[in-house]
Amino acid sequence: MLPTSSSLDRIFIKNLLIRGIIGINPDERVNRQDILVNLTLWADTRAAAASDDIADAVNYRTIAKAAIRHVEEGQPLLVERLAAELARLCFELDPRVQAVEVMVEKPGAVRFAESVGVAIYRTRAEVLGDA
């Protein structure tokens, strides 16, 4: 269930196109392919809005760079695994992130389809066991 609290806002990173190793077929284990990542982070942005100070904000650039590095360095077999890893990464990078939706797609992976992928929604408590 998506957050309904008025104290949580959405921060998004849209259509992050990364080249990485993912898949179960032999050629997918050696040839990098396009992986499309979308992240939606739920956090309270009021402190950042009031102070206008990056120290009070979820730094989406830091999260995007970490996601890029993770995809480029990792080699999961399944998009489900990569999505779960990226969700955990978001929580580990910033304690203000309370929930995340991660969409991982493989453009052109299925003939006649623009893209295939998975979308997951996780809360901090589900992933890290803290509130």
- In tens, the pLDDT along 14-62 reads 999 999 999 999 999 999 999 999 999 999 999 999 999 999 999 999 9
Catalytic center residues: 106
Domains identified in the chain, total number: 1
The whole model's pTM is what?
0.92
Neighbours of 35 (CB within 10 A): 23
Q: Find the CATH number of the domain harbouring 112.
A: 3.30.1130.10
- Mean pLDDT score across all residues of the chain: 94
Tokens of 53: 């100070």
Question: Does 4 map to a domain?
Answer: no
Q: Is residue 3 included in any domain, yes or no?
A: no
Decide if 38 contacts 103 (C-beta within 8 A): yes
Show the domain range for 124.
Answer: 9-128
Mean pLDDT of 71-82: 96
- Confirm whether 13 is domain-assigned: yes
Q: Is the pLDDT of residue 94 over 70?
A: yes
Which whole number is the average pLDDT over 83-110? Answer: 96
Residue 108 has what DSSP assignment? T
- Reported as a pLDDT band with limits 50, 70 and 90, residue 4 is low
